[in-house]
């Protein structure tokens, strides 16, 4: 049986042997993509390569990318939906004038992508007799994009019988990276899990989404278009392949599990939850157990990438995940702070694939426990308000406005309202709750659009963040490290490990040191070097694993200072940065605050 570590390794080695450069997973927090709150697919961090905006380190790439998608968060708890998942990916980035081919390191296209998929499925020992293949079947609203008969013919040439090749509708066979961005028709591999997984209808078939036919591999999005802001499709100058397979689905098939939760990716966590809840076979509440397992996994990975729960944007997504997990723990009768406890199991299970989990595990624990402490109060207050409301409403109905108020003002999850109300024979008007929520989402989307900033203008704030990081180390000690960062046009926030509030004197010294570096108009140098060389020069790196396995890293050095001859700051980073510190004019600390125990945050602003 293939363990999850073996599946990742096999996938990466297969593509490495075929000329692909192995990349480490990018952070779940997109670095320079204001269109995304969280990394939601394997290709998200690679978008500039498909658009021809940036040169890739290799024309063939492979990785296993951590992803979070919360569009279906309310469905989590059934046997399929997950918020955190890993995407096994292989990519070919086209180049004008370079012919496609399967061998070597150059680009490839449809034929080679299909051949690779079939070969690897065979090497995994997957029974070809259970496979179906979807291709883009055309769409009346997209007359400029013809049905993908070319890919149909490729599968036929590879020996797939025609009845196994399905022309699928747009929603299943054309992949968009977002409302704007690269996109194209795709070809899916579907796996027949067997009649016991399906609806049992006599006419049930691979195009029926009852659960029997599982999409295990998007064997290639053929990236040939860019969707513009007005919705129109423009042909891209290069043709690329973006292929992705969900690790959880591969594990389910290769381990013969009944669901993603029935694999070694989840089993240790699930048995831990069951033992905390003292669940016996008779009273097992699988839905709550699964919700806790999924949300703890997602929150642990988000914390390891430096995200902190808050009331806005990605921080709010994280807060919601943690709070739902806590609420469901309450429903199962689990006592004490258990989310932080369970994060240790996630760290143990996944640290081989993601070494930064082990490096950050104490911070993860503290951050989650802190949120558990905060939510303990909310839970008590929410339950008291709900009880009062239920006593006053003999009609056995909970209004959507009230459920939304609990959710919006206290952060009390609606599913907990539903579950608690149901236990007392009440129904919640979830549709009215959803209407309230949709109105709120529109408001926050408008606010986000109004603050979207320009993947160029953030460079001075970015350079200021490096200066601040270096100044903190000089004033507070070398053991102070960056824990997370969010940069916008003229301001940024910088999280770091430190156990207490900074004194006014310390803050003034840090600010002064940064402004002194600005006044010296120090050059900002960008060098490409190896990770080892950068580390031996004492460079800082936030996500070490991201850099450890790549051949070349980008090192930004600020300095040297005239007085000491030493560099003020050395940090690995993707940029962009100012060329000279003098471009910054002046730096100001706006606020210093606690994020959780052991983690502080400085909000800074920069002129210039
Ligand atoms: N980007 C595509 C997907 O997420 C293929 O990797 O399905």
Q: What's the average model confidence in pLDDT over 506-520?
A: 94
**Of ligand 1's atoms, which has the minimum distance to the CA of residue 177?**
1
Task: Lowest mean pLDDT of 125-129, 157-161, 403-407, 437-441, name the range.
Answer: 437-441
Q: Is 40 in the pocket of ligand 1 (CB under 6 A)?
A: no
Q: What is the largest CA-CA distance in the chain?
A: 83
In the chain, what are the domain boundaries? 4-254, 266-449, 459-607
Task: Give the model's confidence band at 451: pLDDT under 50 very low, under 70 low, under 90 confident, else very high.
Answer: very low
Contact of 23 with 61, CB cutoff 8 Å: yes
Contact of 89 with 42, CB cutoff 8 Å: yes
Task: Give the model's confidence band at 17: pLDDT under 50 very low, under 70 low, under 90 confident, else very high.
Answer: very high
pLDDT higher than 70, residue 544: no
Tens digit of each residue's pLDDT (9 = 90 or more) over 574-589: 777 888 899 898 999 9
Which H or E run includes 483? Answer: strand 482-487
Task: Lowest mean pLDDT of 74-78, 160-164, 171-175, 182-186, name the range.
Answer: 74-78
Q: Looking at residue 512, what is its pLDDT?
A: 94
Q: Looking at residue 448, what is its pLDDT?
A: 46
Tokens of 420: 């608690």
Residue ranges of alpha helices (H) inside 393-503 are 400-405, 414-423, 430-451, 459-476
Q: Separation of 244 CA from ligand 1 center, angstroms?
A: 5
Bridge-based pairing of strands 427-428 and 397-398 is: parallel
Residues 168, 186: Cα–Cα separation, whole Å: 10
pLDDT higher than 60, residue 549: no
Tokens of 227: 């969707």
Task: Give the model's confidence band at 545: pLDDT under 50 very low, under 70 low, under 90 confident, else very high.
Answer: low
Residues 493, 491: Cα–Cα separation, whole Å: 7
Q: Is 89 in the pocket of ligand 1 (CB under 6 A)?
A: yes
Tens digit of each residue's pLDDT (9 = 90 or more) over 188-225: 999 999 999 998 898 888 988 888 999 999 999 999 99
Q: Whole-model pTM above 0.95?
A: no
pLDDT higher than 80, residue 419: no
pLDDT higher than 80, residue 244: yes
Q: Looking at residue 332, what is its pLDDT?
A: 87
DSSP structure class, residue 409? I
Residues 299, 295: Cα–Cα separation, whole Å: 6
Q: Looking at residue 418, what is its pLDDT?
A: 87
Q: Separation of 44 CA from ligand 1 center, angstroms?
A: 9
Q: Is 41 in the pocket of ligand 1 (CB under 6 A)?
A: yes
What distances in angstroms separate CA 217 from CA 54, 205, 341, one per listed residue? 27, 18, 34
Residue ranges of alpha helices (H) inside 19-147 are 47-50, 110-123
Q: Is 246 in the pocket of ligand 1 (CB under 6 A)?
A: no
Closest CA to 552 of 572, 534, 531: 531
DSSP structure class, residue 44? G
Choose one of 242, 243, 245, 246 to mutate for the ligand 1 pocket test, by most ligand atoms within 8 angstroms of C-beta. Answer: 242
Residues 214, 203: Cα–Cα separation, whole Å: 17
Which H or E run includes 571? Answer: strand 569-572
* Neighbour count for residue 404 (Cβ, 10 Å): 22
What percent of the chain has pLDDT above 70?
95
What percent of the chain has pLDDT above 90?
59
Averaged confidence pLDDT in the chain: 89
Contact of 473 with 509, CB cutoff 8 Å: no
Tens digit of each residue's pLDDT (9 = 90 or more) over 467-503: 999 999 999 988 888 887 888 777 889 988 898 999 9
When comparing pLDDT for 92 and 179, which is higher?
92
Cα radius of gyration rounded to whole Å, the chain = 26
Task: Lowest mean pLDDT of 329-333, 409-413, 598-602, name the range.
Answer: 409-413
When comparing pLDDT for 132 and 481, which is higher?
132
Closest CA to 44 of 61, 26, 56, 62: 26
Residues in the chain, total: 608
Q: Looking at residue 457, what is its pLDDT?
A: 66
Residues 126, 128: Cα–Cα separation, whole Å: 6
Topology of the domain covering 4-254: BirA Bifunctional Protein; domain 2 (3.30.930)
Beta bridge partners, 397, equal 427
Q: What's the average model confidence in pLDDT over 382-404?
A: 91
Q: Looking at residue 408, what is its pLDDT?
A: 81
Closest CA to 299 of 347, 333, 261: 347
| Sequential DSSP letters for 120-157 | HHHHTT--GGGEEEEEE---TT-TTS---HHHHHHHHH
Which amino acid residue places its CA nearest to atom 4 of ligand 1?
41
CB within 8 A of 246, min separation 6: which ones? 85, 86, 87, 88, 216
Which amino acid residue places its CA nearest to atom 6 of ligand 1?
244
Choose one of 40, 41, 116, 183 to mutate for the ligand 1 pocket test, by most ligand atoms within 8 angstroms of C-beta. Answer: 41
Bridge-based pairing of strands 165-168 and 131-136 is: parallel
Q: Looking at residue 553, what is its pLDDT?
A: 76
Closest CA to 404 of 372, 377, 438, 374: 438
DSSP structure class, residue 170? H
Q: What's the average model confidence in pLDDT over 14-32?
A: 93
Phi-psi region of 26 (alpha: psi -120 to 50; beta: other; left: phi over 0): beta
Task: Give the model's confidence band at 274: pLDDT under 50 very low, under 70 low, under 90 confident, else very high.
Answer: very high
When comparing pLDDT for 443 and 242, which is higher?
242
Q: Separation of 242 CA from ligand 1 center, angstroms?
A: 6
**Domain 459-607 = CATH 3.60.15.10:** no
Closest CA to 207 of 154, 153, 134, 137: 134
Q: Looking at residue 543, what is its pLDDT?
A: 56
Q: Looking at residue 183, what is its pLDDT?
A: 95
Q: Looking at residue 546, what is its pLDDT?
A: 58
pLDDT higher than 70, residue 56: yes
Backbone angles phi, psi at 562, to 5 degrees: -65, -40
Task: Give the model's confidence band at 282: pLDDT under 50 very low, under 70 low, under 90 confident, else very high.
Answer: low
Q: Looking at residue 456, what is its pLDDT?
A: 59
Q: Looking at residue 283, what is its pLDDT?
A: 61
Q: Looking at residue 511, what is its pLDDT?
A: 95
Q: Looking at residue 452, what is its pLDDT?
A: 41
Task: Look at the block and give the residue holding tokens 């009845």.
Answer: 163
Tokens of 21: 């450069």
pLDDT higher than 90, residue 186: yes
Q: What's the average model confidence in pLDDT over 542-571?
A: 78
Residues 460, 579: Cα–Cα separation, whole Å: 9
Task: Give the model's confidence band at 450: pLDDT under 50 very low, under 70 low, under 90 confident, else very high.
Answer: very low
Contact of 400 with 429, CB cutoff 8 Å: yes
Q: Separation of 572 CA from ligand 1 center, angstroms?
A: 29
Q: Separation of 236 CA from ligand 1 center, angstroms?
A: 18
């Amino acid at each position: 049986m293939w363990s999850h570590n073996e599946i990742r390794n096999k996938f990466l080695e297969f593509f490495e042997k075929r000329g692909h450069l192995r990349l480490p997973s990018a952070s779940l927090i997109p670095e320079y993509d204001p269109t995304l709150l969280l990394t939601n697919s394997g290709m998200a961090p690679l978008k500039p390569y498909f658009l021809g905006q940036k040169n890739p380190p290799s024309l063939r790439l492979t990785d296993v990318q951590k992803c979070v998608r919360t569009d279906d968060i309310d469905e989590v708890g059934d046997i399929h939906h997950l918020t955190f998942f890993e995407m096994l990916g292989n990519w070919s980035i086209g180049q004008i004038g370079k012919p496609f081919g399967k061998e070597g390191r150059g680009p490839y296209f449809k034929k080679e992508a299909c051949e690779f998929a079939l070969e690897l499925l065979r090497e995994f020992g997957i029974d070809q007799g259970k496979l179906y293949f979807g291709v883009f079947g055309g769409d009346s609203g997209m007359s400029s994009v013809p049905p993908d008969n070319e890919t149909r013919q490729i599968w036929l040439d590879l020996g797939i019988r025609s009845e196994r090749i399905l022309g699928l509708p747009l929603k299943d066979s054309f992949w968009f990276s977002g409302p704007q961005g690269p996109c194209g028709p795709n070809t899916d591999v579907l796996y027949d899990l067997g009649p016991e997984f399906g609806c049992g209808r006599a006419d049930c078939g691979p195009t029926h989404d009852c659960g029997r036919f599982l999409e295990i591999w998007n064997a290639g999005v053929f990236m040939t278009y860019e969707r513009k802001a007005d919705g129109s499709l423009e042909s891209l100058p290069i043709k690329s392949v973006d292929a992705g397979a969900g690790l959880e689905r591969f594990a389910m098939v290769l381990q013969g599990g009944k669901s993603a939760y029935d694999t070694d990716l989840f089993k240790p966590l699930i048995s831990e939850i069951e033992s905390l809840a003292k669940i016996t076979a008779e009273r097992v509440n699988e839905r709550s157990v699964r919700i806790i397992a999924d949300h703890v996994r997602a929150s642990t990975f988000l914390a390891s990438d430096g995200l902190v729960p808050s009331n806005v944007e990605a921080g709010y997504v994280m807060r919601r995940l943690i709070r739902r997990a806590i609420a469901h723990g309450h429903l199962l009768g689990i006592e004490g702070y258990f989310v932080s406890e369970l994060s240790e199991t996630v760290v143990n299970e996944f640290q081989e694939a993601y070494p930064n989990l082990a490096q950050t595990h104490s911070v993860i624990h503290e951050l989650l426990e802190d949120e558990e402490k905060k939510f303990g109060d909310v839970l008590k207050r929410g339950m008291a308000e709900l009880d009062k409301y239920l006593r006053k409403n003999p009609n056995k109905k909970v209004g959507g406005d009230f459920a939304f108020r609990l959710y919006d003002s206290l952060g009390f999850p609606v599913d907990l309202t539903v579950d608690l109300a149901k236990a007392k024979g009440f129904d919640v008007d979830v549709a009215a709750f959803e209407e309230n929520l949709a109105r709120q989402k529109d408001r926050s989307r408008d606010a986000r659009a109004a603050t979207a900033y320009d993947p160029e203008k953030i460079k001075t704030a970015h350079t200021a963040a490096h200066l601040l990081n270096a100044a903190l180390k000089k004033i507070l000690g070398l053991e102070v490290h960056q824990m997370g960062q969010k940069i916008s046009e003229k301001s940024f926030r910088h999280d770091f490990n430190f156990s207490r509030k900074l004194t006014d004197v310390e803050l003034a010294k840090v600010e002064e040191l940064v402004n002194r570096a600005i006044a010296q108009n120090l050059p900002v140098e960008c060098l490409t070097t190896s990770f080892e060389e950068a580390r031996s020069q004492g460079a800082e790196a936030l996500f070490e694993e991201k850099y450890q396995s790549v051949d070349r890293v980008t090192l930004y050095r600020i300095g040297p200072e005239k007085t000491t001859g030493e560099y003020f700051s050395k940090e690995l980073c993707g940029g962009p940065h100012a060329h000279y510190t003098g471009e910054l004019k002046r730096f100001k600390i706006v606020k210093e605050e606690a994020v959780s125990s052991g983690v502080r945050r400085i909000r800074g602003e920069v002129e210039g």
